[in-house]
A and B are shown apart, each in its own frame.
Chain A
Amino acid sequence: MAVLRFLLNGRAHEESRISPTTTVLDYLRIHLGLTGTKEGCAEGDCGACTIALARRTGDSYVTANSCLLVVPQLHGASVLTVEGLAGPDGALHPVQQALVETDGTQCGFCTPGFIMAMFAFQESGEPARDDLIHEALAGNLCRCTGYRPIVDACRRIAATPSAQTYAPVPRVQDCPDYGETGARFLAPTTMDDLAAILAAHTNAQLLAGGTDLGLLFSRERKSLPLLVSIAHIPDLARIASTASGLEIGAAATYNAALPHIEALYPSFGSLIRRIGSRQIRNLGTIGGNIANASPIGDTIPCLMALGAAVTVRSTVGARTIPMEEFITGYRKTALAPGEFIEKIFLPKPQPGETFTANKISKRFDQDISAVVAAFAIRIGGGKLISIRAAYGGMAAQAARAHALETELAGRSWSLEALGDLESLLARDFTPADDHRASAQYRLSVAANLVRRLCLEMNGNAPAALETL
């Protein structure tokens, strides 16, 4: 097929001419003249371009950054923009009314994005808890108001989904083979088809959520000859609990995986809630995070410390690789040509083992970490029996701290016995100075996070800052 079909503000919409790497933001603003959606940064960080999407009939609408999506990703979805919220008579939607009444707009440029974030928050049915409101707003920046009136508006509209009904998502049987040679978008529906495509096209670029790849189109204004989306392969979106752990399909979004992971590892869940924003987590996947192999890669140190494994597949079959071996260098993985990630296996918590994940960044929400630290630790008889410690932001790739692990094993589990952790960590890592942090700070905080864990486990440390 060569036609993209989706609902746009409740109306059936078809598109067959737009380049497959055109961003949804540009499409709305330039091609359709729907200028309510704004460009504030074109890198998925300001939220001015936020739209709402529903993928399947019955799903509630969730937010997405339209600057990070390309138009073919909308195929089969229902899309709402700020123009689609007010009633046919022009009556304001309750979230719009609430923001007007709390004087929550000043310059108004960020407002359409906030409106869409508030709309999705309301649709989610979540209660008016401040932590949830901040989580819902974390992907939207406002430079004028100081947020107080926006948060107040969220409190008013929480858990009161509007009576207004929105058109159901169109039933789309086919999946796109869109575009033409040199500018093509494929969305296979089975793993076998995906494997065949990757085997046949060495220039294929896999696309999961596109929250990182999208920058290439949005900010760098580049195109790619062949994008292969994994979003229409049900097998890859599957999340399954097994006797030994959790299997997370490569196309499962952060937000889809979050409740499952949080149930096993609350601390890992808390960290995921700080990765990007809801807009990002509604698109981005853990599979994409590890395939990206960033030196920080928020989930990677956690998966390493937890002894996770990655199953990869190609036309010749599947193989399973321990997480540590999957990451082979700076933005390098063990994926061979033609291979794709099928799933990630996360083992169940081991009895007697404690796991914590830490993220250090300039801003609590939606910031790339200076340091990520994940510890799986076993204590017995006042001694540290074993520790698996993995860090991001400390080297060219996320990695285990083997010297630290070896030296600490068997020591007393007290601050005094831990001693000079900085020197131990310096054997594992030579961090860099950059705009996120200095090497010195990274080493200090990497060591202090072990100390904080020790204090917490010994019952000496107070609650975390965010609980004050």
Chain B
Amino acid sequence: MNTVNPRGGIKGGAHTATRHDSAAGHVTGSAIYLDDMPNVRGTLHAALVLSPHAHARIVAIDPTRALAMPGVVALITSADVPGHNNIGPGTIEEPMLAVEEAEYVGHPVAAIAADTLDHARAAAAFVDITYDPLPAILTIEEALASGAIVCPEQHMVRGDPFTALGKAPLRLAGEVRCGGQDHFYLEGQIALAIPGEEHDMHMFSSTQHPTEVQHGVAHLLGLPFNAVTVEVRRMGGAFGGKESQATIIAGIAAVLAWKTKRPVKLRLPRDVDMMATGKRHGFLIRYDVGFDAQGTILALDMLLAANGGNIADLTPAVLTRALCHADNCYYVPDIRLRGVPCKTNTVSNTAFRGFGGPQGMFAIEAVVEAIATHLQLPLDAVRRRNFYGTETRNVTPYGMVVEDNLIARVTEELDRAVDLAAWRREIDEFNATHLTIRKGLATMPIKFGISFNLPSLNQAGALVHVYSDGSVHLNHGGTEMGQGLFVKIAQVVAQAFQIDLDNIRVSATSTGKVPNTSPTAASSGSDLNGMAALNAASEIKTRMSAVAAEHFEVPVDEIEFSANRIFAGNRSISFGDLAQLCWQKRVSLSATGFYRTPGLHWDFKTNTGRPFYYFSYGAAASEVAIDTLTGECRTLRTEIVQDAGLSLNPAIDLGQIEGAFVQGMGWLTMEELWWDAKGALRTHGPSTYKIPGSRDVPPIFNVRILPESPNKELTVFRSKAIGEPPLMLAISVWLAIRDAVASLRQYKYRPKLDAPATAERILSAIQDIRSR
């Protein structure tokens, strides 16, 4: 990376710690988000009408009073969809607005467009809807009891787990739960639909998946895909919450625009956003594990029951990823993982950073901790016995060989950096001398699979133009949600052309520029789009090289791009001049690039295959303190070692690691989704739903990117994906809290502590363990 270029090199190439391209725009408020765009003349503003019932038949919708309100122009229900009322992200059809039945409190039933936002929101309260309430299923337990599911169960089986369980010398069963999580992107869901000529619909949407918005709107309006263009410059955060959910919002705006023939903007107020749109799946986990006296896992039968909410949405894929991560770093020879996608009358849950991975890892960590407690062995010792091997014991339950195993490396690197044994002694000394405050310490290794489980999604396109002054326009299928994708891909192109980064401008993602894209999700943004952009740049470079070779009258293989110039031995021409020369020679300076991840396959019938191109690894250790009288908790210190391959941008990657960790910590500690007895979510704004604040971040928080660790696979400049994996390092915090609780009884018992570990749950766990 630091090879010295005698010609001076370039600014902002691959592997440099380069700033976010919009940083100056962010701090001055000049970066433009969708709601900041000047209104198009005649724009209407929309508001949703939500169901107050968890489950009810919609008997009648009377819009008379609402339509008579000031400024109101139109009201739509599902009956107003001119085309096909389907915006389901998968193969299961799902409607944009409730049809016949409202299935959760907050289910959008109708939408109103008016001249102002206030008029639209005021009128929403005057839509008279007659409901006939029906029985509702509100919890995973109720759904399991009644067999309510949103899609088929998924089973992942290897060997003969039941026989192996029967033969195992030791056996434990248990149950643990983790809650869901609201994305709490700071910019709420928003879309703007602008009708054009001849039924064209131009959409601006805060979406991670412009192509899905394009397809959804086309379905709803009965149009071919080429009539709908979707554009997104940036999102104010997304985290998975704007993958499929954005399509609902865009679809409603589009149908209102279609009906009124006017531009329509739909922006959800925070409460509506949190009530009406999906979240991370809460899970109920039940396990039965067989092991030996040394802690080696011999067999595991585990239920992972996900709260899918009212419809399938992305639940099938989330569940698959949960099953694919319920091994985490551990080899389990005989195993059955049973995934149940429970249907409940709560909002349909969806993608959220980690996408089932966090819940799968949470589950297996509870199992390994149970074994360690039972055997009175250190948790890390039991983990080490079960880590995947490099030559043997290296096949996952879904049949993929772990070829790039860095588990030992990251955990040893962590230990070397922090001296875990000494740290543990400090904890023990503290606990021996303090009456009411207890400390806990735990580590967390992770192995996270990179690629969409669905092989067809692992493709990307890019579009690169070199203008005749040498400036470069870059476009690709990925979306910018703050993760720094645009700057990373621009770095890739700068590296390819060997020109300074500031010559490259990235334009808004648009289905009109790069078609048939995948969502920017599954940590895949830079892997996929980076390679597509590299391929486009390489194509143009090849053409430019031919022109340069002709110009300098040398063989093409003597042409070298370096330090903003193109060299033939000692002679050179600037990049801009060569671009001008190409134009004169009538050589195309525009190319599309395409990439598909090699070697992936997945059998949905058996849940086996090679779903992941590679794995990302990491390890963390966290120290917490709890007040045993109130259950209050603080995370005091976190140390992280995270694999990023050869990081494309260490500054951006550091931000991803820190941000993901804190987000994961929020999921497992203070972020609580609380529904009342009628199924209404009562934590639907920041006054009631608490995400971490600056004081909640561990005061000692050190992140190390694993050095000299090129990706074994041929990813873009040997980098690795970074968006999701570090979130799961936060499981160390949950385990450390359990450790602190367990210390009250000399670590003899497993605490009863589900997630999120709020002060209330911690105090309850303390009272429970003291009573044993």
How far, in whole Å, are A415 and B74 apart by their CA atoms in the complex? 67
- Name the A residues within 8 Å of B184 (CB-CB): 141, 143
How far, in whole Å, are A465 and B655 apart by their CA atoms in the complex? 27
Tell me whether B29 and A35 are in contact (CB under 8 A): yes
- Name the B residues within 8 Å of A448 (CB-CB): 629-630, 763
- Name the A residues within 8 Å of B760 (CB-CB): 370, 437-438, 441
How many residue pairs link A and B with beta carbons under 8 A? The number is 265
Q: Does A221 contact B (CB under 8 A)?
A: yes
Give 1 or 0 for each of B14-39: 1 = CB within 8 Å of chain A CB.
00000110111111111111011010
Q: Can you show 25 pairs from A to B with CB atoms below 8 A apart?
A: A35-B32, A41-B686, A46-B686, A82-B27, A99-B23, A99-B26, A105-B23, A105-B27, A108-B482, A111-B27, A143-B184, A143-B186, A143-B237, A144-B237, A146-B662, A149-B658, A151-B694, A221-B121, A362-B759, A363-B692, A365-B695, A370-B760, A441-B759, A444-B763, A462-B437
Tell me whether A462 and B436 are in contact (CB under 8 A): yes
B762 to chain A, nearest CB (A): 10
B17 to chain A, nearest CB (A): 8
Q: Does A106 contact B (CB under 8 A)?
A: yes
Report the nearest B residue to A114, measured CB to CB: B27
Q: Does A92 contact B (CB under 8 A)?
A: yes
A452 with B122, Cβ < 8 A, contacts A36-B28, A219-B269 known = no
Q: Which 4 A-B pairs have the closest CB atoms?
A: A36-B29, A107-B482, A109-B236, A108-B26
A389 to chain B, nearest CB (A): 16
B residues near A (Cβ < 8 Å) are 19-20, 22-33, 35-36, 38, 118, 121-122, 183-188, 234-239, 269-271, 434-437, 481-484, 625-627, 629-634, 636, 651-652, 654-655, 658-663, 670, 672, 674, 676, 682-683, 685-688, 690-697, 699, 701, 758-760, 763-764, 767
How far, in whole Å, are A160 and B36 apart by their CA atoms in the complex? 32
Tell me whether A40 and B23 are in contact (CB under 8 A): no
A28 to chain B, nearest CB (A): 10
B652 to chain A, nearest CB (A): 8
Q: Does A228 contact B (CB under 8 A)?
A: no
With a 10 A CB-CB cut-off, give which of B185, B697, B760 has the most chain A CB atoms: B760
Tell me whether B767 and A444 are in contact (CB under 8 A): yes
- Name the A residues within 8 Å of B625 (CB-CB): 465, 468
Q: Does A89 contact B (CB under 8 A)?
A: no
- Name the A residues within 8 Å of B764 (CB-CB): 441
Give 1 or 0 for each of A345-367: 1 = CB within 8 Å of chain B CB.
00000000000000011111111
Give 1 or 0 for each of A146-187: 1 = CB within 8 Å of chain B CB.
111111000000000000000000000000000000000000
Tell me whether A35 and B24 are in contact (CB under 8 A): no
How far, in whole Å, are A112 and B187 apart by their CA atoms in the complex? 13
Report the nearest A residue to B22, measured CB to CB: A108
How far, in whole Å, are A465 and B625 apart by their CA atoms in the complex? 7
- Name the A residues within 8 Å of B270 (CB-CB): 40-43, 46
Tell me whether A109 and B659 are in contact (CB under 8 A): no
- Name the B residues within 8 Å of A452 (CB-CB): 436, 627, 629-630
Tell me whether A45 and B632 are in contact (CB under 8 A): no
A residues near B (Cβ < 8 Å) are 29, 33, 35-46, 48, 81-83, 85-86, 92, 96-97, 99-100, 103, 105-112, 115, 130, 133-134, 137-138, 140-151, 219, 221, 360-368, 370, 434-438, 441, 444-445, 448-449, 451-452, 455, 460-466, 468
A35, A107, A148, A445: which contacts B185 (Cβ < 8 A)?
Answer: A107
How far, in whole Å, are A236 and B122 apart by their CA atoms in the complex? 36
- Name the A residues within 8 Å of B697 (CB-CB): 146-148, 151
- Name the B residues within 8 Å of A465 (CB-CB): 437, 625-627, 632-634
Tell me whether B686 and A43 are in contact (CB under 8 A): yes
Tell me whether B655 and A145 are in contact (CB under 8 A): yes
How far, in whole Å, are A35 and B676 apart by their CA atoms in the complex? 37
- Name the B residues within 8 Å of A149 (CB-CB): 655, 658
Tell me whether A48 and B436 are in contact (CB under 8 A): no
- Name the A residues within 8 Å of B627 (CB-CB): 452, 464-465
How far, in whole Å, are A8 and B298 apart by their CA atoms in the complex? 70
Tell me whether B28 and A92 are in contact (CB under 8 A): yes
A interface: dominant SS? loop
A103 with B690, Cβ < 8 A, contacts A38-B187, A43-B270, A219-B271 known = no
Tell me whether B437 and A468 are in contact (CB under 8 A): yes
Report the nearest A residue to B29, measured CB to CB: A36
A312 to chain B, nearest CB (A): 29
B142 to chain A, nearest CB (A): 19
- Name the B residues within 8 Å of A29 (CB-CB): 35-36
- Name the A residues within 8 Å of B20 (CB-CB): 103, 105-106, 108
B121, B237, B670: which contacts A109 (Cβ < 8 A)?
Answer: B237
- Name the A residues within 8 Å of B701 (CB-CB): 146, 148
Report the nearest B residue to A445, measured CB to CB: B630
Tell me whether A461 and B436 are in contact (CB under 8 A): yes
- Name the B residues within 8 Å of A468 (CB-CB): 437, 625, 634, 636
A143 with B269, Cβ < 8 A, contacts A108-B22, A462-B437 known = no
- Name the A residues within 8 Å of B234 (CB-CB): 107-108
A99 with B694, Cβ < 8 A, contacts A45-B685, A146-B659, A360-B632 known = no
Tell me whether B693 and A143 are in contact (CB under 8 A): no
A449 with B630, Cβ < 8 A, contacts A83-B29, A99-B27, A130-B699 known = yes
Tell me whether B29 and A112 are in contact (CB under 8 A): yes
A138 with B693, Cβ < 8 A, contacts A105-B23, A441-B764, A462-B434 known = yes
Tell me whether B690 and A148 are in contact (CB under 8 A): no
- Name the A residues within 8 Å of B185 (CB-CB): 107, 109, 143
- Name the A residues within 8 Å of B36 (CB-CB): 29, 35
A202 to chain B, nearest CB (A): 25
11 other A-B residue contacts (CB within 8 Å) besides A361-B690, A363-B670, A466-B634:
A38-B33, A100-B27, A105-B20, A106-B20, A107-B186, A144-B655, A360-B759, A435-B688, A449-B629, A452-B627, A464-B627
- Name the A residues within 8 Å of B26 (CB-CB): 99, 105, 108, 111-112
Report the nearest B residue to A22, measured CB to CB: B118
Tell me whether B651 and A103 are in contact (CB under 8 A): yes
Tell me whether B682 and A146 are in contact (CB under 8 A): no
- Name the A residues within 8 Å of B19 (CB-CB): 100, 103
